[in-house]
Amino acid sequence: MRPLIARRGPVPLPPRDPAPSIWSYRFQRLWLTPLFRRLMRVGLPAFAVVLVIGWYFSDPAHWRGVTDQMAEMRREIENRPEFRVNLMNVRGASPQLAQEVRQTLALDLPLSSFDLDLDQLRETVEELPAVARAELRILSGGYLAVEVEERVPVLIWQTRAAPVLLDADGQFVAPLAHRQLPGPLPQVAGEGADAAVPEALALLEAAAPLGDRLRGLVRMGERRWDVVLRDGRRILLPSDDPIAALDRVLALDEAQDLLGRDVIRVDMRNPARPNVQLSPAALAELRRMRGLDQGDGNG
């Protein structure tokens, strides 16, 4: 029953209809749809962010500004003292080589460690002939540690220009004139000797009984070795199995004192038929002795 009393003040609104309107009902159902919900909560914000970023960077000036700012920030970080390299320390190299390494790297210290390309520096150092292997490391406290493994010279190679040093792999180490050697090194000569250094070393080891009679080895025709003794006599070795041939010569020497006799060359190039070249005097003497024999025979 409607009240008949006139009320003062604002007339209270009739009670609101609790039923949702058809559109709010539909919207709520749509909102409860999982796919739509995910689209709205993830897809739409993501799309909006991408759109805004894309719109912002569609102007190249904005892009440049942002990249410049990024580069500036990067440089600031790189130039912090924590990343600075102040000193370079070369280890494992002779003072001469260390000097050479420093000159090659030519680093203008202090530098930021971000500017050092360690791999490239390592390759640069390893390109030095006297360096076998190098390792570069940035240590705390701003040290650049360069650990160098030097090539060890084992042979002196007499070339046409100047004698040079070779290591066990046949690699060039340095000209002989630039190095102070701790002790005497065996010598080799001849074209292509550096390509057969391991064989030369094996021969030299085998020739150890010759002692200081040995002058050196000569590579002949890039194929085989001659052993040159100090008085100019030669032992000609075959290209195949030279060590066995040398061993035979040494055995002959030990048994019959071959090298103590007056021979100029011992030719082992054909292992089945060793030849000996006598000195002219010895040859004459041999002939005389043979002549005596003949004379005796003739009567």
Partner 1 sequence: MSMLYHSQRAMRAKRQEAMRRGVIAVLDIGSHKIACLVLRFDSSDEFRPSDGVGAMAGQSSFRVVGAATTRSRGVKFGEIDTMQETERAIRTALQGAQKMAAARVDHVIVSFAGARPRSYGLTGEVSLQTGTVGDCDVAQVLAACDVPDFGEGREVLHAQPVNFALDHRTGLNDPRGQVGNRLSTDMHLLTIDAHAIEHLLYCVKRCDLELAGVASSPYVAGISSLVEDEQELGAACIDMGGGATGLSIFIKKHMIFADTVRMGGDHVTADISQALQIPLNDAERLKTRFGGVVATGMDDREMIELEGDTGDWHHDRRAVSRAELIGVIRPRVEEILEEVRARLDAAGFEHLPSQRIVLTGGASQLPGLDGLASKILGNQVRLGRPLRVQGLPQSACGPAFAASVGLSLFAAYPQDEWWDFEMPADRYPARSLKRAVKWFRDNW
Question: Which spans of this chain sit near partner 1 (rule: CB under 8 A)?
Answer: 1, 3-5, 17-20, 22, 25-26, 28-29, 32-34
Q: How far is CA 71 from CA 65, 78, 140, in A?
A: 10, 10, 25
Minimal distance in Å, beta carbon 19 to partner 1?
4
Q: Whose Cβ is closer to partner 1: residue 15's or residue 183's?
A: 15
Select 32 or 281, whichever has its Cβ closest to partner 1.
32
Q: From CA 95, how far away is CA 150, in angstroms rounded?
A: 11
Distance CA 135, CA 151 (A): 14
Residue closer to partner 1, measured from CB, 9 or 297:
9
3 versus 182: smaller Cβ distance to partner 1? 3
Alpha-carbon distance of 160 to 143, in angstroms, equals 44
Shortest distance in whole angstroms from residue 28 CB to partner 1: 6
Cβ 83 to partner 1, closest distance in Å? 53
Residue 274 CA to residue 16 CA, distance in Å, equals 129
Whether the CB-CB separation of 142 and 112 falls below 8 Å is answered with no
Q: Which is nearer to partner 1, 30 or 195 (CB)?
A: 30
Of the candidates 161, 184, 182, 164, which has an alpha carbon nearest to the alpha carbon of residue 174? Answer: 164
Residues making up the chain, counted from first to last: 299
Smallest distance from partner 1 to CB 44, Å: 19
Classified as helix, coil or strand, 200 is helix
CB of 138 to partner 1, least distance (A): 57
- Residue in the block written with tokens 């054909």: 270
